[in-house]
Amino acid sequence: MSVKPQPASDLFAGPFALGTLSASDGPAFPALIDHEGQVLDLREALSDPALTMRDLLERWPAVLPRLRALAADPEPARHPLSDFRVLAPVEPRQVFQSGANYRQHVIDLHVAHRAPGDERSEEERRAEAAEIMNRRAAEDLPYVFIGLPSAVTGPYDDVTLPTWAEKPDWELELAAVIGHPAYQVSVEEALEYVAGYTIANDLTDRATVFRRDMPQIGTDWLRSKNAPGFTPLGPWIVPAESVGDTGDLQLTLKLNGEVMQDESTKDMIFDVARMVAYASQSARLLPGDLVLTGSPAGNGMHWGRLLRDGDVMESTITGLGTQRTRCVAEEA
């Protein structure tokens, strides 16, 4: 069971978006989606029966003009979006995740994750978090770690909450999709390597973030963030040229219809260009890879309300559409 997508697709910026779809039990294929909710199969339009979204991104500089032309051409046969299942828009080889990149979110987490024996007041711990962020911003050192592609799932698929996850939480994030191999690129040129943007929900089990048995080694991102389906992705990749300035996009997450996160990317400590440039200093970013840019305030730890069986999350980012996922408890 999965949450049924709305048939219209008029919530993305620009003349078209890209998605990965399938019909019934057929193979996945890359598609161009227009604002009428009509789908153009890019395997047929580009005369490549084996084409995947990653292939498309590998050819991004050359294929983008062709996509613009196809979007403007009424002739190629199109089909209703409602005829297809919407999958995660891309299968990345690498997922670069960002922690502590929204000021208010960091403050909230710093307060929520009180270390054993820390008897300081909430005000003192908030002040400490603000000082840490100011120092980080001045030193230009984003916090980036690696996620697993196997955690990625579709934008309308159910998310299974593992029995061991005691405190599953949501984290709505803007994700940059890489369109050129990038290694040791500068901040000034970093956005040239971004093909487009999509929505990610970086689910996290707060109970396993820190290794209590070995506190000296710090966080355990494998355990806390990489269960199957813990990264709902999509629905669309919207070309960077259509999104424009990512410095003031609104991120809104509703839980069962109630707004929990509602913040602008203006609250980021490090912007998209800095995140991409920083990740590229150590690793070679490949076409189709994701750079998640952190989550704003309003997670479950802040509200004292974690995810449970039957919850429905609706996540929206300006110009990128909306994903809807239902939580289902894993059978013991």
CA distance 261 to 77: 39
Which residues, in sequence order, are CB contacts of 169 under 8 Å at separation 6+?
203, 204, 205, 206, 299, 300, 301, 306, 307
Task: Evaluate whether 205 touches 169 at the Cβ level (below 8 Å).
Answer: yes
Q: How confident is the model at residue 142 (pLDDT cuts 50, 70, 90)?
A: very high
Q: How confident is the model at residue 7 (pLDDT cuts 50, 70, 90)?
A: very low
Q: Would you call 213 exposed, middle or buried from its count of C-beta atoms within 10 A (0-12, 13-18, 19+)?
A: exposed
Among the listed residues 85, 77, 73, 59, the one whose alpha carbon sits nearest the alpha carbon of residue 5: 85
Chain segment 242-294, per-residue pLDDT in tens:
999 999 999 999 999 999 999 999 999 999 999 999 999 999 999 999 999 99
CATH 3.90.850.10 occupies which residues in the chain?
Answer: 95-329
In this structure, the chain runs to a length of: 332
Chain segment 51-96, per-residue pLDDT in tens:
999 999 999 999 999 999 999 998 888 999 999 999 999 999 999 9
Candidate CATH numbers 3.90.850.10, 3.40.630.10, 2.40.30.10, 3.30.70.100; the one for domain 95-329: 3.90.850.10
Supply the pTM of this predicted model: 0.92
| pLDDT of res. 8 | 45
Among the listed residues 208, 106, 98, 90, the one whose alpha carbon sits nearest the alpha carbon of residue 147: 98
